[in-house]
Amino acid sequence: MNWDAIAAVGEILGAMAVVVSLVYLATQISTSNKAVRQSSLHELMNEMLNWQSQISKDESLADLWVRGCAGDASLNNSELTRFHFYLMQLFQLWLQVEEESQLIGTNSWVVPFVRSARSEVVGSRGVISWWGLRKDRFPDDFRQIIENEILLSPGYHPGGTGHSAIENNDHD
């Protein structure tokens, strides 16, 4: 064997090593991206649980939530402000879920779970009223999702019958 043949074999082996390294690197990047997305989704679910636990731990907040969702006209300015910021926080979390679903798809159990719970809440009289005044603050695609969920919502009535404000035509 001459030196040219040995050099050619060396080049082929070197090229194969580069291809194997690139495949390995692509696999590692994919695995890393998946782990980051899962971690992000896990953190988002923790934020949702923290949001929910605020209601379960604070009787006055739970009362405000029930009254606000019902569209209780007797809410004072302070209560309306608290309800507004509480909903703003919730809608921001929902927006993050939708953004994450674009990255990871809807295969995760989290996305359908959040959408199912959200579809009940967005159908309540108080949330529909709040949304009507503030929907322009959100991206178009998210706005369309919420609008569709409002139309299809069974309604949210804590301790109530589950009939939506839309079914009763009293959501305007």
- What is the domain extent for residue 62? 37-152
Per-position DSSP letters for 98-152, written without gaps between them: HHHHHHH-S-SSHHHHHHHHHHHHTTSHHHHHHHHHHGGGS-HHHHHHHHHHHHH
The answer to whether position 73 is within a domain reads: yes
* Tens digits of residue pLDDT in 127-149: 999 999 999 999 999 999 999 99
CA distances from 161 to 17, 116, 118, 154, 164 (A): 66, 17, 17, 10, 9
The answer to whether position 157 is within a domain reads: no
Query: What's the pLDDT at 107?
Result: 63
Chain centroid to CA 90: 9
The total number of residues shown for the chain amounts to: 172
Q: How many CB atoms lie within 10 A of CB 89?
A: 13
Judge contact between 157 and 168, C-beta under 8 A.
Answer: no
Token pair listed for 56: 């379960």
The answer to whether position 87 is within a domain reads: yes
Query: What's the pLDDT at 60?
Result: 93
Q: Give the pLDDT of the chain (172 residues) as one tens digit per residue.
A: 688 888 888 889 888 888 888 888 888 887 777 777 777 777 888 888 888 889 899 999 999 999 999 999 999 999 999 999 999 999 999 999 888 888 766 566 778 888 888 888 999 999 999 999 999 999 999 999 999 999 888 765 555 544 433 334 444 4
The answer to whether position 23 is within a domain reads: no
The answer to whether position 162 is within a domain reads: no
Burial pattern 14-26, b for ≥16 Cβ within 10 A else e, equals: eeeeeeeeeeeee
The answer to whether position 86 is within a domain reads: yes
The DSSP secondary-structure symbol of 23 reads: H
Domain count, the chain: 1
Chain centroid to CA 32: 22
The answer to whether position 169 is within a domain reads: no
Query: What's the pLDDT at 29?
Result: 85
Token pair listed for 22: 């690139």
Token pair listed for 88: 């703003």
The answer to whether position 7 is within a domain reads: no
Tell me the C-alpha distance between 28 and 136, whole Å. 41
- pTM for the whole thing? 0.71
Query: What's the pLDDT at 128?
Result: 94
Token pair listed for 115: 């959408």
